């Protein structure tokens, strides 16, 4: 029997993106550790916009042309060479980022954002703005793809856990006939939905970033609804809807 509800699917890795039809869909870019968390924090703290770019050289070049901008990003978990700031949401308090443009490049999240073609709408999601993402999606009548940035195309736990949190909240409003979505929901249910950071401490990406002394950063990223904004892509800029 065909459902009259829009569909909701989860793409577990950028390497699988070509298997999904994104034309006209709402695509949620997910990079919990840490790009989409940093985007939510910066915009909630008053940044005028975030410009996601694919390369470090593009980030530096654009920063030189734009007054009132901050060039930031990481490669393999550390601040990228040539940039002054990293991919940590705690680096962007209001006193620093308000009314400025954040130009951001990251290993996984900004790369996936540039891969999406023909979407009707692109937004970014993290635990920091979980409620805002769900509230927005619950009011739409369009297909949704929850797109996990993963780690260099490999499945990761934290992005899938977030996708499961969204799908679990919205499962009655969407047609879910997608085993990756079911798996994400099972993972979120297994976590208990409360102490997320404890569930994620055994993940490879947590261990990778914790080795750089970023445990507090990761705890920050696993805090639901700390920055309840909805970043939406307008042209090449992410702004608050």
Position 78 scores a pLDDT of 82
If you write DSSP's letter for every residue of 154-169 in order, what string do you get? Answer: B--HHHHHHHHHHHHH
When pLDDT is cut at 50, 70 and 90, the band that residue 110 belongs to is confident
The rounded distance, in Å, linking the Cα atoms of 111 and 97 is 23
* Tokens at 113, concatenated: 């954002």
pTM over 0.85: yes
Q: Are 156 and 77 in contact (CB under 8 A)?
A: no
The rounded distance, in Å, linking the Cα atoms of 194 and 98 is 31
CATH architecture of residue range(s) 8-240: Alpha-Beta Complex (3.90)
When pLDDT is cut at 50, 70 and 90, the band that residue 1 belongs to is low
Q: Are 6 and 142 in contact (CB under 8 A)?
A: yes
Portion of the chain with pLDDT greater than 70, in percent: 99
* Tokens at 22, concatenated: 């994104």
3-class DSSP state of 209: helix
Q: Are 138 and 130 in contact (CB under 8 A)?
A: no
Position 181 scores a pLDDT of 98
pLDDT 10s digits, 142-178 = 999 999 999 999 999 999 999 999 999 999 999 999 9
Position 60 scores a pLDDT of 94
Q: Which residues, in sequence order, are CB contacts of 170 under 8 Å at separation 6+? A: 8, 134, 137, 138, 144
When pLDDT is cut at 50, 70 and 90, the band that residue 189 belongs to is very high
For residue 6, the 8-state DSSP code is P
Model confidence at 56: pLDDT above 80: yes
pLDDT 10s digits, 68-85 = 999 998 888 788 888 989
At residue 91, φ and ψ (nearest 5 deg) are -75, -10
* Tokens at 175, concatenated: 């047609």
Position 168 scores a pLDDT of 97
* Tokens at 106, concatenated: 């990251």
Strands 69-75 and 78-79: antiparallel
Position 144 scores a pLDDT of 98
pLDDT 10s digits, 117-146 = 899 999 999 999 999 999 999 989 999 999
* Tokens at 203, concatenated: 């993940």
Model confidence at 53: pLDDT above 90: yes
Sheet strands side by side (includes 144-148): 8-11, 144-148, 26-30, 121-125, 231-234, 237-240, 49-52, 101-105, 69-75, 78-79
**Mean pLDDT estimate for the chain:** 94
Model confidence at 224: pLDDT above 60: yes
The rounded distance, in Å, linking the Cα atoms of 77 and 202 is 17
* Tokens at 30, concatenated: 């997910």
If you write DSSP's letter for every residue of 90-138 in order, what string do you get? Answer: GG--HHHHTT-EEEEE-SSHHHHHHH--S-SEEEEE-GGGHHHHHHHHH
Position 194 scores a pLDDT of 87
């Amino acid at each position: 029997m065909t459902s009259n509800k829009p569909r909701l699917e989860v793409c577990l890795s950028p390497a699988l993106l070509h298997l999904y039809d994104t034309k006209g869909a709402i695509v949620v870019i997910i990079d919990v550790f840490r790009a989409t968390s940093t985007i939510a924090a910066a915009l909630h703290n008053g940044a005028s916009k975030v410009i996601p770019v694919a390369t470090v050289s593009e980030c530096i070049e654009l920063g030189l042309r734009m007054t009132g901008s901050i060039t930031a990003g990481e490669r393999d978990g550390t601040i990228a060479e040539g940039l002054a700031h990293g991919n940590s949401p705690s680096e962007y308090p209001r006193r620093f980022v308000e009314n400025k443009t954040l130009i951001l490049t990251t290993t996984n999240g900004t790369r996936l954002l540039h891969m999406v073609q023909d979407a009707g709408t692109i937004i970014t999601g993290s635990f920091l703005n979980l409620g805002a993402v769900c509230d927005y999606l619950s009011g739409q009548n369009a297909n949704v793809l929850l797109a996990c940035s993963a780690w260099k195309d490999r499945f990761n736990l934290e992005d899938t856990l977030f996708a499961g949190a969204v799908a679990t909240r919205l499962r009655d409003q969407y047609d879910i006939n997608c085993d990756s979505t079911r798996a994400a929901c099972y993972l979120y249910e297994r976590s208990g939905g409360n102490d997320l950071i404890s569930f994620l401490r055994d993940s490879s990406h947590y261990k990778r970033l914790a080795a750089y002394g970023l445990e507090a950063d990761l705890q920050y990223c696993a805090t639901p609804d700390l920055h309840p904004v909805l970043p939406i892509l307008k042209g090449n800029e992410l702004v608050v809807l």
